[in-house]
């Protein structure tokens, strides 16, 4: 077996590190405030810059990077849009939505993101109970939030998988 040259070894190391970061970003999407899609995009950006500096980027590679970039932007906006759309369709006022979002972000900064995940629907439950004076309707609002979060997670996860597939086509085909 012939020895592996430095360029091949560095290419393998770059691809392994990039794939690792892509997987960490994908798994991080479970936590709502974790910017998994952005982290995945940054990994592909670094990969593109290194490949370009090595003279290894083709038009096909740049096209796939542009598609990955577009997916990141779409996924970042789709996240909040899906949750908010579900809640607005359920007639939950924007005031309640924004308070629950703010609570989730603030709690995530001072505690863990997982506790922040609990803070958003619990805050919505409390705000809606104060607004509606009805426990069942307040629980329904929190349920709608969680359904929206689930749909949002599914969309972000699917987008993250597509980003990995596009990067795989770029890196290995």
Q: How far is CA 51 from the centre of its chain?
A: 25
Q: What CA dihedral angle connects 45, 170, 161 and 34, to 10 degrees? A: -10
- Contact yes or no for 121/146 (Cβ under 8 A): yes
The secondary structure of the chain in percent helix, strand, coil, rounded to multiples of 5, reads 85, 0, 15
Domain that holds residue 120: 6-172
The domain total for the chain is 1
Give the pLDDT of residue 83: 85
Give the pLDDT of residue 2: 73
Q: How far is CA 35 from the centre of its chain?
A: 5
**How long a stretch of residues is the chain?**
173
Return per-residue pLDDT of the chain as tens, 173 residues. 677 788 889 999 999 999 999 999 999 888 766 789 999 999 999 999 999 999 999 999 999 999 999 999 999 898 878 888 888 899 999 999 999 989 988 988 888 777 888 899 999 999 999 999 999 999 999 999 999 989 999 999 999 999 999 999 999 99
For the entire predicted model, the pTM comes to: 0.84
- Classify residue 52: in a domain, yes or no: yes
Give the pLDDT of residue 4: 77
- Classify residue 1: in a domain, yes or no: no
**Angle at CA 81, nearest 5°, toward 75 and 84?**
145
Give the pLDDT of residue 32: 66
Q: How far is CA 36 from CA 1, 7, 75, 85, 97, in A?
A: 40, 30, 10, 22, 22
């Amino acid at each position: 077996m012939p020895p592996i040259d430095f360029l091949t070894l560095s290419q393998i190391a770059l691809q392994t590190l990039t794939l690792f970061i892509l997987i960490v970003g994908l798994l991080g999407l479970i936590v709502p405030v974790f910017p998994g899609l952005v982290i995945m995009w940054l990994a592909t950006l670094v990969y593109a810059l290194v490949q370009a500096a090595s003279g290894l980027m083709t038009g096909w590679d740049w096209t796939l990077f542009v598609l990955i970039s577009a997916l990141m932007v779409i996924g970042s906006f789709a996240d909040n849009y899906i949750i908010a759309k579900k809640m607005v369709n359920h007639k939950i006022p924007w005031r309640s939505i924004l308070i629950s979002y703010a609570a989730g972000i603030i709690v995530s900064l001072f505690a863990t993101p997982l506790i922040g995940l609990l803070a958003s629907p619990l805050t919505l439950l409390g705000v809606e109970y104060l607004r509606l004076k009805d426990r069942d309707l307040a629980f329904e609002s929190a349920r709608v939030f969680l359904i929206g979060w689930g749909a949002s997670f599914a969309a972000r996860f699917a987008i993250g998988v597509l980003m990995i597939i596009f990067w795989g086509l770029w890196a290995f085909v």
